[in-house]
Amino acid sequence: MDNKERILAIVRKVSKNNTLPDPEESLFDSGFLDSFALPDLVSDLEREFGIKIPDSDLNPRKFESIARIQSYIESRM
Amino acid sequence: MAAIRGLGAYLPSRVVSNAELAAHLNCEAGWILDVSGIEERRYAAPEETVASMGVAAAQQSLENAGVSAGDLGMILVSSGSSERRFPGPASAIAHALGLDHVPAIDLPIASAGSLFGMAVAASLCGIHGNILVVASEKMSAIVSRQPLERGVAPLFGDGAGACLIGPDDGPVKIVDSVLHTDGAFAEDLRLEFDAPLEMNGRSVILQASRKIPAAIGELLGRKGKSASSVQVFLMHQANQNLMDRVARALEVDAARFYSNIRRYGNTSSASMLIAAAEWWRDPGPKEGDLICFAAFGAGFHWGALLAEAAS
């Protein structure tokens, strides 16, 4: 799986939604993520990609869409 | 060594149900319960103030401790909802208790102010003697500001809590505490003068979900203790989902987190002491119990405090 597919799999898992969000679509506005799914998303991303996301980077906007998540994760790898 | 000598709480008599609020907020009562775990909250009467509620809680804590106001060496009062810029409620509470020379200090720290007050009192009581920590909030006056926000207004309630901390070797000693502040996210939870409460709920939950377990872990690790050895967690009552999440992160049963949020909502800095006062009354500390306080709030300020009942 490439990075985007790995991220999509995590989003589907934490959102309990099996549909595919558009890469640029807001995961919050589209209902894929709520305030309490977001911490799960961050934890799963850390585990999946073997990275530690510092608290200073925990800005919800960084995790707004699949494209933003991918851009952020790849900047940390 | 500092010790917790007595706790007290005051809740206004008016009960405000989700159904009553839902009618004003154009939402379903069940939705409020689902997103927050809150079923009802208390609203103060118009004549009740942050100071008057604080006095009621303070008097109860002094009674429970068997200490008179004249034996106080300092008062610390936490509130993020005081009615005016200055003076804050600390001087009014001291005056109402009949004190005219004891230093009374305001801590305008929403949500985490009572935890910060307890930790500071534990540090200073060796110098000043008995220190009364009061936390009082009239959040109804804040959340009723227009425009009403359905994601914010149902969450909050009014009330006050108090805790007397003394330098003596009492039955429940304060073992240690950790306090932290990070102003990078100050804009995400703020109250400007005469404006509605502004809250970026996603940011608050995301940060709190990480920082509260981390602070508790830091504190317990420093003392060589595990979360499973803690009898009760007395946490700021912000949101039931958040408390459950913190319990999961620490791998302890959520039942160890005392909760009254269903009945009172989020009473900001008062909530932790209201919860503590209720738990102290029933079931209360038993020999050898470890008791962990924790809070997170605007600033962001957060931390944890560990107490231990004597064996």
SS3 state at B82? coil
Where residue A77 falls among pLDDT bands split at 50, 70, 90? confident
What pLDDT does residue B115 have?
Answer: 98
With CA atoms as reference, the chain B residue closest to A28 would be B202
Interface confidence, given as ipTM, is: 0.92
B283 preceded by a cis bond (ω within 30 of 0): yes
Mean pLDDT of A41-56: 95
Burial class (CB in 10 A: 0-12, 13-18, 19+), A23: middle
Distance CA A70, CA A4 (A): 6
Burial class (CB in 10 A: 0-12, 13-18, 19+), B192: exposed
First to last CA, chain A: 16
What pLDDT does residue A64 have?
Answer: 94
Contact B210 A39 (CB under 8 A): yes
Where residue A53 falls among pLDDT bands split at 50, 70, 90? very high
Alpha-carbon torsion, ordered B105, B173, B299, B235, to 10 deg: -120
Q: A29-59 b/e with 16+ CB inside 10 Å = b? A: eeebbbbbbbbbbbbbbeebbeeebeeeebb
**Which among A39, A42, A55 has the least Cβ separation from residue B245?**
A39
Q: Which residue has the tokens 């900047």?
A: A75
* Six-digit token string for B265: 């909502």
Q: How far off is chain B from A1, nearest CA to CA, in Å?
A: 28
Contact B241 A39 (CB under 8 A): no
Contact pairs from chain A to chain B, CB under 8 Å = 35
Query: Which residues, in sequence order, are CB contacts of B277 under 8 Å at separation 6+?
Result: B7, B8, B9, B57, B60, B61, B161, B162, B163
Residues of B in contact with A28 (CB under 8 A): 202
Q: What is the mean pLDDT of each run of 10 residues along chain B (311 residues)?
A: 96 96 89 91 97 98 97 98 96 98 97 98 97 98 84 93 92 96 96 90 96 98 97 96 95 98 98 98 96 98 97 82
Tell me the per-residue pLDDT of A9-48, one tens digit each, with 9 for 90 and over: 999 999 888 788 889 999 999 989 988 899 999 999 999 9
Pick from B184, B200, B232, B61: nearest CA to B132: B61
Q: B272-299 b/e with 16+ CB inside 10 Å = b? A: bbbbbbbbbeeeebeeebbbbbbbbbbb
**Stated pTM of the model:** 0.96
Pick from B172, B311, B288: nearest CA to B230: B288
DSSP B190-259: EE-TTS-EEE-HHHHHHHHHHHHHHHHHHHHHHTT--GGG-SEEEE--S-HHHHHHHHHHHTS-GGGB--
**Which among A35, A55, A60 has the least Cβ separation from residue B210?**
A55
The reply to whether B206 touches chain A by the CB within 8 Å rule is: yes
* Six-digit token string for B239: 């949101």
Contact B206 A58 (CB under 8 A): yes
Distance CA B191, CA B169 (A): 40
What pLDDT does residue A21 have?
Answer: 86
Contact B202 A28 (CB under 8 A): yes
Q: What share of chain A is helix, strand, coil (3-state, %, to 5)?
A: 55, 0, 45
Distance CA B94, CA B8 (A): 16
Asked whether B156 and B267 are in contact (CB, 8 A), the reply is: yes
Distances (CA, A) of B224 to B169, B177, B227: 22, 14, 10
SS3 state at A17? coil
